[in-house]
Every structure is written in C-alpha cells, then in structure tokens.
C-alpha cells in the first residue's frame, strides 16, 4: 500500500505560470489559459502561499498590498480533488501568520456568499460592508 505524499505549505513558494493557471482552471471549472502569474506575484504581491502534495501544487493564495497598511487576500484556490481536506484553511491560516509579521495592519477578504461559513470560521475575519463592480 502506498501512502499519500506529505504536504508542504510555503510562504512565497516557487510556482510556475503553468501550475497556477492549471490549478485555477481546475478549481474554477474554466478552460485553461496561461496567465503571467509569476510576473504579477513579483510586481504586486506582499506574498503568496503554496500547498503541495509531493510535487503537485494543490493549493495557492495571493496577498496583494497597497504598499502601506492594507493587504488583500485574493485567489484562494484549492484543487477540487483536495477540497474539504483542510488545504483552504491551511492557506488562510498561513497567510494570516505571515501578514502578522509584516508591515500591514489590515487583511481584507471578500468571498462569494456560499463561502461565507468557510471565510468566517473561527472568528478570523469580521463582517464588513463592501461594494464590487465588474468593469
């Protein structure tokens, strides 16, 4: 019997455009399009978290910043085969840990209504009013 490979969670872990584009397509059920993730991460991100099972990227999230006191949690992505296994929770917890050791004071997050129970677990985030416009 072969055991499941251990997972590793890394702040600012190495990723390729192909890996994140493929993970995003699988998680959000859309056609895979190669996006310039590495360029965006280096240019706009405070950091990002990767979760791997062996060599396979199964989770990812990105934290962008305004360069001051605010950071924004974006693109929390878990491969469908690994959803419900704690990978998403691990991504969010590691992100919070890393933000607490940075210069930011506020970590913002928004989410679809059906993800509210996940995003609001354990009192990590408090509700706020916000607006969004698709342009």
Kindly tell me if the per-residue pLDDT of 128 is higher than 90.
Answer: no
Of all residues in the chain, what percent carry a pLDDT higher than 90?
Answer: 64
- Per residue in 44-76, pLDDT (tens digit) is 999 999 999 999 999 999 999 999 999 999 989
| pTM above threshold 0.95 | no
Question: Residue 77 pairs with which residues in a beta bridge?
Answer: 60
Task: State the DSSP string of 36-68.
Answer: -HHHHHHHHEEEEEEEEETTEEEEEEEEEE-SS
pLDDT of the residue at 133: 46
What is the H or E stretch that residue 71 is in?
Answer: strand 70-78
Tokens at residue 130, please? 């916000």
Indicate the fold that domain 7-123 takes in CATH.
Aminopeptidase (3.40.630)
């Amino acid at each position: 019997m072969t055991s499941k490979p251990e997972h590793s969670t890394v702040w600012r872990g190495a990723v390729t455009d192909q890996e994140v584009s493929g993970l995003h397509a699988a998680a959000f059920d859309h056609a895979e399009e190669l996006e310039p993730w590495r360029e965006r991460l280096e240019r706009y991100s405070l950091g990002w978290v990767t979760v791997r099972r062996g060599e396979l990227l199964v989770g990812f999230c990105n934290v962008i910043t305004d360069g001051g006191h605010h950071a924004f949690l974006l693109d929390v992505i878990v491969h469908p085969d690994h959803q419900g296994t704690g990978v998403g929770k691990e991504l969010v917890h590691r992100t919070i840990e890393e933000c607490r050791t940075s210069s930011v004071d506020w970590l913002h997050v928004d989410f679809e209504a059906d993800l509210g129970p996940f995003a609001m677990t354990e009192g990590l985030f408090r509700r706020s009013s916000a607006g969004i416009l698709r342009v």
